[in-house]
Chains A and B, each alone.
Chain A
Amino acid sequence: MKKGLLYLMGVLVFLVLAACTANESTGTENKNGEGEKAGDEKILQLNNGEEPTSFDPAIGFDNVSWNALNNLMEGLTRLDEDHTPQPAVAEEWDVSEDGTTYTFYLREDANWSNGDPVVAEDFIFAWERLLNPKTGSSAGFLGYFIKGGEAFNSGEGSTDDLGITAVNEKTLEVELENPTGFFLHVLTNPAFFPVNHQVAADNSEWHAEAESFVGNGPFQLESWEHDNEMMFTKNDAYWDADSVNLDGVHWAMVNDTNTEYQMFERGELDSAEIPAELSDQLIDGDNVQVVDQGGLEFFRFNVTEEPFQNKNIRKAFALAVDQENITEYVVKNKVKPAYGYISPGFTNPSGEDFRDVNGDLVSFDPEEAKQLLEKGMEEEGYDELPTVTLSYNTSDLNKEVAEAIQGMFSENIGVDVELENTEWNVFLEDQKALNHQLSRSSFLYDYADPVNFLESFITGSYMNRTGWSNEQYDQLIANAKSEADEGKRWEYMYEAEKLLAEEVPLFPVRYYNQVEVLQEGVTKILRHPVGYLDLKYADKQ
């Protein structure tokens, strides 16, 4: 009897094993197939994390879209290795003396992947779409530099009032609201990419599938399996195809940093982020690339709530935070502590860095913090400080930073704050409605000019969310946005930042960076401080 049973079990086990072995061998064959293909050609294997939101330049206003879009398409200008704008579709341009009219001359050999030439009309079509309130683009504000842009986007103007005209097929004239010294920078943003207007007229969903996608960048979209993978191949019709080293790029969509790193270890990816737990181990490795990202992690005071209506109390809290401790032991990954609001990397016309000129404005000083707190409490007549709650949007890292700051407040100024966290969308609603007292915030630049950040804190700005309002500050920003003389414009911005540091409606914690570990032989993956990725010059040995 027992023998029969054993026999039965044996058969079952054998069946299961057989099934597994069969699967395994199929897997190996498949892998070999892939391996051979990668051997012949230079295919870079990257991970996009998730599905791009949209390849419609007006809609895909986020990193998951830009990673791909910036390599499939190209605007009038393109950032180079030093993150400065260089001629791209525009071969050259003239700027009027008052700095408000730009005339762009498009390349004769700039073509779409379907063979059509890239013409001025393509830009006009794309930009009108970007600004049309019916499009629902969240990048619309970038077009406000263009004359009539804000009015049209607010539903008050029409396309006729927009300052963009096609002088002829290959010449585009752009009128601006104000002289905007960094306009060529703004134009590198994917929101300003052209759209083949003839293709779009036939099929408004041209950007939704690989078959119908028409681009003008260094790569073309070979295949796109939604939520799974994308394949790019080199675009031989690209005007600068000779500079492109890769034969293609394969994009996986793996939305888990640990899995991503494990795939990297296994050689299935050429680049990976460094998971937080492995930072200490990996950050000093040979193939680690660390690049600055323009941006700031900071905390907003709500100046309409006690006790932060008082400037000295705000300042006391700001000076009680040891930024270096946070970057060194909490965030890690070689991020830099922020002693000012504007991140390093913005250079004025004479080549000096904004940060160097203005220096450290908010540095850790527990002694002064204590004195300021006492002074502030006296001014307000407090015997005891009202309860303070520090809010942040739920994430592991935000929690660690908040706890570190909680400890610093307790240790340095003897204040025990409570912590509170909510999901991002709820958090943002509360922050906008000024329901927080002290809340975590972050800012990432859209274009390379300090005014991008500074103008957030003018009276009534959507980005303000502190309740803070200062006439002098508003005036400085207005000047910084309209001044034709670049030297003077920078002076206004220096002054504005100093005023922020004086009034402290917010305090800085750290700047951002972009860290990745690369496979040996992978070079020139450009990550710009404004957040987009460029693979035009990338190479793989």
Chain B
Amino acid sequence: MLIAADIILFLGLVWPFLAGAIIAAFGPESRTGDEETQSRFSQLAANFSLVAVALAALNVPLSLYLAATGQGVELGWMIEAPLATVGCLLLHVSLVSQCFAPPLPEEERALVARDAVPFWTTGLLALAMMLSEPVARAAMLLSAPVLSVILLNTGAGRALAGWNTLRRAATGALLVCSGFLHPDPIIEGMLAGCGFCLLASLFPCTLSLSATRTDRAGDASEILRANAATLAVVALLVTFPLPPVTVLGLRGLFFASGLATLALAAVRLRLRSAQATSLLTQASMGLAAVSAGLAHPLVADLAVFGPLVATPWLSLSGKPNSRVTLLADQAFLLPGFAALLLAVMLVAGTSLPLALLLIAAAWPALRPGVRLFPSRVALPKVSGAKPVNREGRP
């Protein structure tokens, strides 16, 4: 059983890189080749992502079984915790969602490896979940955005967006690395917390971003996946390998930053000062950070699940009465709402003032949503995203 679990785990970790390489090798033919080649290769990425998600799904019961029977789940350089496999499954599900979503209008000058980039970044982020060394995790979390910036932002006029992404990710990751290499555990926790907040683009980064952001969708989904993976990794880190003093600093910083992100996004939703999709994504990220601060990785995974899965489909929202759009809205909102309820419940168990604070932070976003909820059934057309965005009231 242990051997089988090791083999499956190894395959699951290696497969994204392999699949990305195959897609990159055959990608040009699928674009420029004749009709037959195009039809043969057009479904390649989707099928490969299905294989990846099957491998990741197989990992979950195997790691649960191994953890239950107490066999070796530590392989020296990596730890196969059940929660880490759940995080990997989450990332792979988002990859499937992106591969099956209708293709966006593409840029001619983008690199031909564009279809392969999601596989590679997903592989790197899944590796970040599994590695045992915190420094190595931070390095993997840095390498995924750098790779996507190098390979995706090749078009003209995209250097500035890439440079800004690189600045944010590099600042966060360098802070995290120098924190994890620091001898003092208290400073280690504070530095790592600040760095992870920047790496996941939590509160200090959300101040100015959303107003002017007009990223191409492929790039935005890469950033979103990297942020979600960062949050999941932090939620894992606070449960296991770090010393308790470090964990305390990390958790406190993450709770505060997530709460600030959530409150800011909620107020902006109320004021409708930016695009509602990105604001709701921010709110979900903040909620995930709060759950990471509470040391509940599964709630954090649930909070990032909605944006990760539904974002590739939301570009369809121009199409009226589309069942897919309605489904995407549900998938966008419901996991986040469930995560909010769970988080409030869990906080209320430990401290009532914190629970009230959390409710107060999320309140401005909930009220318009609840008030406008019935119009959702009558007007599926305006589902630009979600009930809170119901600007097109009759």
Do the two chains belong together in a single complex? Answer: no
Interface residues of B (CB under 8 A from A): none
Interface residues of A (CB under 8 A from B): none
